[in-house]
Amino acid sequence: AQSVTQLGSHVSVSEGALVLLRCNYSSSVPPYLFWYVQYPNQGLQLLLKYTTGATLVKGINGFEAEFKKSETSFHLTKPSAHMSDAAEYFCAVTRGSGTYKYIFGTGTRLKVLA
Amino acid sequence: GAGVSQSPRYKVAKRGQDVALRCDPISGHVSLFWYQQALGQGPEFLTYFQNEAQLDKSGLPSDRFFAERPEGSVSTLKIQRTQQEDSAVYLCASSLALASGGISYNEQFFGPGTRLTVL
C-alpha cells in the first residue's frame, strides 16, 4: 500500500524567504513521486517529478525537491518565495507505470506575505 | 488545445438529480483516471480505464456512481440521485501509459475539473 503525509496544512512565508513544504511517503515498492500546484478554481499543474535517477529534481518556477529514500521524504523547496507562489500544493505517490492511480496528500496551502 | 478537457466546468444539481460529467483525454492516451476532490482535501481516486476496459473501480463511493469509456477515448462519469456529500471537484487525468523501447510513460495529465454543487 502507498500513502502520503504532508505536514502542515497551512504554511506562511515572507516574500523572498525560503519555501519548505514537507512530504513523507510510504510505499512497498520503489515510488514515483510528484508535486503539483493548484491555483484557485484551476486544475493541477505538475511542478516536478521523481521517477528514477538523480534524487535532486528541479521543476518549474524555481522549485526543486530531493528524494531521500532513507527518510522516505520528498520535500519541496524554493530559495526565494514570490507572491505568485501562493497556492495549494499537493504531493503524490504512485507505482512506476502510468497504469496506477496517484495517492495524494491532503495538501499544503502556501501563503506569501509582503 | 492538446490538454485534457472536461465539461461542464461547473454544475449545480438539486438533490436527487442525475448528472453526467465528461472527460476528453489527450488524443492517443491509453489510460484514464477519475478523481474526486472534496473541499480542502487532496484528490482521491475513483476509477481507472485502460482503453475501454474499466480495470479498477475500487474508489467509487457507492453504486450511484458509474463511469464508462465505450470507445476508449471520451469518458463519462455519471452520478445518480445526487446527494449533498457528492459536492466536490471531479478531476479527470490521462496518461500514455505504454512501455515503448524500455521507456515507460507514467505521468498523468490533469484536466481543469468539474465543480459539482448539490443543493
Predicted pLDDT of residue A60 = 94
Q: Which residues pair with A74 in a beta bridge?
A: A67
| Spatial distance between the Cα atoms of B14 and A47, rounded to a whole number of angstroms | 37
DSSP string, A41-89: T--EEEEEEE-SS-SEEE-GGG-EEEEETTTTEEEEEESS--GGG-EEE
Q: Which residues of A touch B (CB under 8 A)?
A: 4, 32, 34, 36, 41-46, 49, 51, 90, 92, 94, 96-107
List, in order, residues 6 or more apart from B76 with CB less than 8 Å away. Answer: B20, B21, B22, B23, B67, B68, B69
* Region for A63 from its dihedrals, namely left if φ exceeds 0, alpha if ψ lies in -120 to 50, beta otherwise: beta
Predicted pLDDT of residue B102 = 44
Residue to test with chain A: of B106, B107, B115, most A Cβ within 10 A: B106
Instruction: Report the residue from B31, B42, B59 with minimal CB separation from A105.
Output: B42
Inspect the interface and report whether the beta carbons of B44 and A97 lie closer than 8 Å: no
Mean pLDDT for each 10-residue chunk of chain B (119 residues)?
Answer: 90 98 94 93 94 94 97 97 97 77 65 96
Q: What are the distances in angstroms from CA B81 to CA A28, B9, B65?
A: 38, 20, 9
pLDDT tens sequence for chain A (114 residues) = 889 999 999 999 999 999 999 999 998 888 899 999 999 878 899 999 998 888 999 999 999 999 999 999 999 999 999 999 999 999 999 886 656 889 999 999 999 999
Nearest alpha carbon to residue B110 among A29, A52, A90: A90
Predicted pLDDT of residue B6 = 97
Inspect the interface and report whether the beta carbons of A102 and B33 lie closer than 8 Å: yes
